[in-house]
Structure 1
């Protein structure tokens, strides 16, 4: 069972986007040509695999609970797994609790400190990129921390079921993207997304998406943590306005899922 999106949000918010051991922010700023780099990892206190560190102390239903997860930088994630004799389950629970208490103490002087705001370093997107292939959507998923969506009302049940199944798949891929490392795993994810895009195209639905660059700020005056948010929308082709990259309406028919996705969907 994968870690759910809700669980990931709880872990990151409780930790304030910081490693529970060194308390360093675990997302680097982006550059003028690259997205921010995320090196925070949701680490299991009790391992999921039977041969992993501190394994065998929890039932399967509790393994992926937020109570069994702690946010760490990649360096300290490796350390706790390499040194399970020192980093016992009890010690990690204590580290997590002390870090959460420290984060709450910051909030005592700045109530309501944790919130998402637009990152001024990036222009905020206003036009959805038309998605017709699995690869670009998968790349957006991998670069995002969280996910939001929109779909039309009043659809036939069969169409709504397909769209909801697609959006659930996007959320599932968001949950596990950080755990997929091999080329084959990434390619399988692209193919899974492509399958849904092709089915939606057959029913004359368009999929649009963009990544909104946000900052998670805590009111302490320190630099915010980059928090890229993926937005995905599904709309009937008859209701969408197809534009070029500058936002001008495109006169031709919208592309199908088998053609390159260079145009935009407003």
Structure 2
């Protein structure tokens, strides 16, 4: 459904938009079927687009009807940005948002037609992200499949039927990388307090978390089973887990933290 005549229009080629764009090009998407709109392209992205033969503009050009209009700008900028994009929307255009905090109804009001709201996360920048997505009733099965293909260049796509679930998706996976990074900080700080040099403690914590993530990625076992595989009865890991899994420890904290993120997602969308 995208072609040079009905291009994939990417608005915003920063971290997330740029990651998606690189994935499309690496996957063999026709550069002539892509149009990038960004008034502040980085020098590196400008070179990348020029070398690949992708058209780029600082503002929406006239005479272009997007096949897919992908919006990858910050939520606080979205209203100002969409005000200048109406000319890109034709009868067959599907609007695809990768920004948190803007509902399907927002895009229907400003751009009309078919809309997909999606929430990728930052590991998309290294091809290891995951995206939650929801479509309105105007999105055809063909369009949904094409958008799934575009989003999946940076990792798997999980579709939900109820837009209300997107707030929970945002809280778990959209914001989730920050929780993991903070876990590394906490592990490293605990090691420092036990006498390890700070840089060594950070290297140990960082490699442990990235290694555990890769093991979980490759293993067919669930997270619970992998945890049990590491835990010898009455051993060091069991002693730590007795603390982390106590009634007032990790699970209640995560319940509260992820609820706070989901509540904030709903507030931003209101």
Query: Do these two structures clear the TM 0.5 threshold for a shared fold by scoring above it?
Result: no
The TM-score with structure 2 as length reference comes to 0.26
Which fold has the larger relative contact order, with Cα–Cα distance below 8 Å and residues 6 or more apart in sequence?
1
The TM-score with structure 1 as length reference comes to 0.26
More helix by share: 2
